[in-house]
Chain A
C-alpha cells in the first residue's frame, strides 16, 4: 500500500452531518466533531465551531492514539473512550470503527455519564454509515458512480500544480 484517501461526496456528507446534528441536539453538546484517526477533520456540528477545530482534531486523534499505545502496554486491545473533565467544559473522545474518532464538547450542565451512554447508543448508526461509505468507495470503479464523477475534478495538470507554487 502506498497511498490512501477518504473522499466524501455530497450525499454522504449530508447523511453524516444529519447524524451529527441529531447527536448534537440530543446531547445538547457545544460541539460534535468527527475526525479520522490520522487527525483530519471530517465533519462537525454545534455552536462552538469558532474554536480552532484543526488543532482540536489533530490533538484529539493524537490523544486517542497515545491511549491506544498505553492500552497495548497493559495488555488491552484499546481504551475506546477518553474523557477530559474541566471546570466549565469537558471533552469526550471515543473511537469509532478503529478508523475514526468522535469528539464531543459539552458544558457543566450535562452529566458525563449521560454523554457516555448516549454516545454509545448513537455511535452504532454513525459507524454503520461510515462503513457503508468506505464500502462504496472501495468499489467506486464504475465511471458512472457519483464518486468516480467527483474524482474527475482531481485530474489537474502539471501546470495547475506549478501555479499553486507560484511558478
Chain B
C-alpha cells in the first residue's frame, strides 16, 4: 500500500523480499544497509532467532531521494523463508507494493524455490492480489557457488510473467542494487499509472 502525503510531499512504498530459507534475503538487506549513507537509511531491524535465522522479518527504511519534489521512501521487508513460518509470511505480505523473489541457485534448492514461488502465489491470492499484476523482480542468488544451476534453466522454471531477472552474489553485493532499482522503478511506474 503506497502512502502519499501531499502535505509533507512524501511517497512511502513497501517492498517485500520473498524466497526459500537461507536464500539470501536478509543478506540483500544487510548489503543495502552497509553501503547506504547514514542520512538515507533508518535502523535495520532483524527479528531473528539465536542462530540468525529470520523469525518474523527484517526491516530497512530507505530514502531514495526526490522525484518532482517528493521524497521517495522505500520500506524493505524480508519474510522468514522456512516453510513452517507461513503465518508470518502472510502478515508481512500485507500491503506490499512490490515483491523481489530471491531464488537460491543451488541445484538441491530447486524444489524449495518452486515451493516458495507457489506459496507466494497462494498467499497473495488469499489477500486478493494477483502476482501477474504486481511489480515483481526475480533474483537468482548464489551464482558463485559451484553447484549453481545454469541461469537459463532456472529462469525457465521460475519465471512468472517475464519479469526482470538479475544474477546475484548477495554476500559480495553483486546484483543487489540492480535488483532494488528494478523493483523500485516498477513500483514508481505503477504509482504513475494510478495518478
Interface residues of A (CB under 8 A from B): 1-10, 13-14, 36-42, 52, 54-55, 58-59, 62, 65-66, 68-69, 150-156, 160-161, 163-165
Q: Interface size (B, Cβ < 8 Å)?
A: 52
Complex contacts, A36 vs chain B, CB 8 Å? 1, 3, 95
Q: Which of B1-54 contact A (CB under 8 A)?
A: 1-7, 11-12, 14, 42-43, 45, 47
Complex contacts, B184 vs chain A, CB 8 Å? 164-165
A161 touches B129 (CB 8 A): no
Complex contacts, A6 vs chain B, CB 8 Å? 1-4
B195 touches A38 (CB 8 A): no
B129 touches A55 (CB 8 A): no
Interface stretch, picked from B68-76, B115-123, B147-155, B167-175, is: B68-76
B97 within 8 A of A: yes
A151 touches B195 (CB 8 A): yes
B83 within 8 A of A: no
Complex contacts, A14 vs chain B, CB 8 Å? 7
Bound form: Cα–Cα A59–B88 in Å: 13
**Dominant SS among interface residues on chain B:** mixed
Find A69's partner among B4, B69, B75, B87 (CB 8 Å cutoff). Answer: B87
With A62-B57, A156-B67 as contacts: A2 and B130 at CB distance below 8 Å? yes
Complex contacts, B70 vs chain A, CB 8 Å? 153-154
Bound form: Cα–Cα A38–B129 in Å: 15
Complex contacts, B1 vs chain A, CB 8 Å? 4-6, 36, 38, 40
Complex contacts, A160 vs chain B, CB 8 Å? 67-68
- Chain B residue at smallest Cβ distance from A151: B195
Bound form: Cα–Cα A9–B12 in Å: 15
Bound form: Cα–Cα A5–B75 in Å: 15
Complex contacts, A10 vs chain B, CB 8 Å? 6-7
A55 touches B42 (CB 8 A): yes
A2 touches B134 (CB 8 A): yes
A40 touches B134 (CB 8 A): no
Bound form: Cα–Cα A151–B87 in Å: 35
CB distance from B40 to the nearest CB of A (A): 12
- Chain A residue at smallest Cβ distance from B129: A1
With A3-B134, A36-B1, A65-B91 as contacts: A161 and B188 at CB distance below 8 Å? yes
A1 touches B67 (CB 8 A): no
- Chain A residue at smallest Cβ distance from B43: A55
Complex contacts, A152 vs chain B, CB 8 Å? 195
Complex contacts, A66 vs chain B, CB 8 Å? 56, 88, 91
Q: Please, could you name 8 A-B residue pairs with CB atoms under 8 Å apart, sorted by A?
A: A3-B2, A5-B2, A40-B75, A41-B12, A58-B45, A59-B45, A161-B188, A164-B188
Given A8-B5, A38-B95, output 9 extra A-B contacts at Cβ < 8 Å.
Answer: A2-B134, A2-B190, A8-B3, A41-B12, A55-B43, A55-B59, A58-B59, A59-B59, A154-B68
A55 touches B95 (CB 8 A): no
Bound form: Cα–Cα A155–B70 in Å: 12
Contact with A along B82-117 (1 / 0, CB 8 A): 000001100110111100000000000000000000
